[in-house]
């Protein structure tokens, strides 16, 4: 029997939690509930869930801080849910390492669909032929697709799954210029409706993790007026 996918729901509003829980369990997920940030961190460390649904407005430890701490230890997919609807709030959520962001009030069916999409995207790189290692820049930059990791000068860059998918997609076609919409398609799996500049948050994060000097990027290069391209040179 296939093991149920496990989602950790961290939200301090019991009514919302019960609705999310009911819809996810009906869809086949196993759920764990935490009503505050400290408990959420504890369950995250104990249970190693496949997905986290995280509210930003939490008692105790704020959701932003909790997301940051989880990202320091894991690349588990994170969907943020919040009443904060401004563009800057969404961008900040992505800076912290969220894989998706949904604003309250939302449709429970949409949340379930997004949960599947995030989980599926995380699994595709392993399941559909991205199982080997690719080396660039004389071994200075190595992609381990099986583990979804990028090794920079022998050290794990600690990319999130979203960051890995962006950089990996670009590395396959080093001379191709990717628009923001192109990159969001690789991340979301569908054509994104909204401000494609949200991708810039991920680009900034990646540069700080893989570049010697993020202000003079050589791996993830800006093409002015067009988008970005991969600047690494493949070994072998």
pLDDT per position as a tens digit, 49-98:
989 999 988 888 888 889 888 887 777 888 988 876 666 666 676 667 77
User: Does 21 score more than 90 pLDDT?
Assistant: yes
Q: Positive or negative, the Cα torsion across 70, 7, 58, 189? A: positive
Name the pLDDT band for 126 (thresholds 50, 70, 90). very low
Tally of CA atoms within 13 A in the half-sphere of 150 that contains its CB: 26
Return the pLDDT at 96. 72
Checking 180-189 for CB contacts under 8 A at 24+ apart, the result is: 180/227, 182/227, 183/227, 183/228, 187/99, 187/121, 187/162, 188/100, 188/117, 188/121, 189/117, 189/120, 189/121
Q: Are 100 and 114 in contact (CB under 8 A)?
A: yes
Whether the model clears a pTM of 0.85, i.e. scores above it, the answer is no
């Amino acid at each position: 029997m296939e093991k149920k996918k496990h989602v950790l729901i961290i939200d301090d509003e019991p009514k919302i939690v019960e609705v999310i829980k009911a819809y996810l369990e009906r869809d086949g997920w196993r759920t764990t509930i935490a009503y505050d940030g400290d408990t959420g961190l504890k369950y995250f460390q104990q249970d190693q869930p496949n997905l986290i649904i995280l509210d930003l407005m939490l008692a105790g430890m704020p959701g932003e801080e909790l997301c940051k701490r989880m990202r320091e230890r894991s690349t588990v997919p994170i969907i943020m849910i919040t009443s904060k609807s401004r563009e800057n709030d969404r961008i900040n959520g992505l800076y912290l390492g969220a894989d998706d962001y949904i604003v309250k009030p939302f449709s429970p069916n949409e949340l379930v669909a997004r949960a599947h999409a995030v989980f599926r995207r995380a699994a595709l790189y392993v399941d559909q032929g991205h199982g080997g290692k690719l080396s660039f820049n004389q071994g200075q930059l190595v992609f381990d697709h099986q583990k979804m990791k990028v090794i920079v000068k022998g050290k794990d860059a600690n990319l999130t799954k979203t960051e890995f998918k962006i950089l990996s997609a670009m590395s396959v076609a080093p001379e191709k210029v990717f628009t923001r919409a192109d990159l969001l398609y690789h991340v979301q799996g569908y054509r994104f409706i909204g401000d494609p500049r949200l991708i810039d948050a991920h680009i900034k994060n990646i540069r700080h993790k893989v570049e010697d000097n993020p202000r003079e990027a050589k791996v993830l290069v800006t093409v002015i007026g067009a988008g970005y391209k991969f600047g690494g040179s493949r070994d072998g």
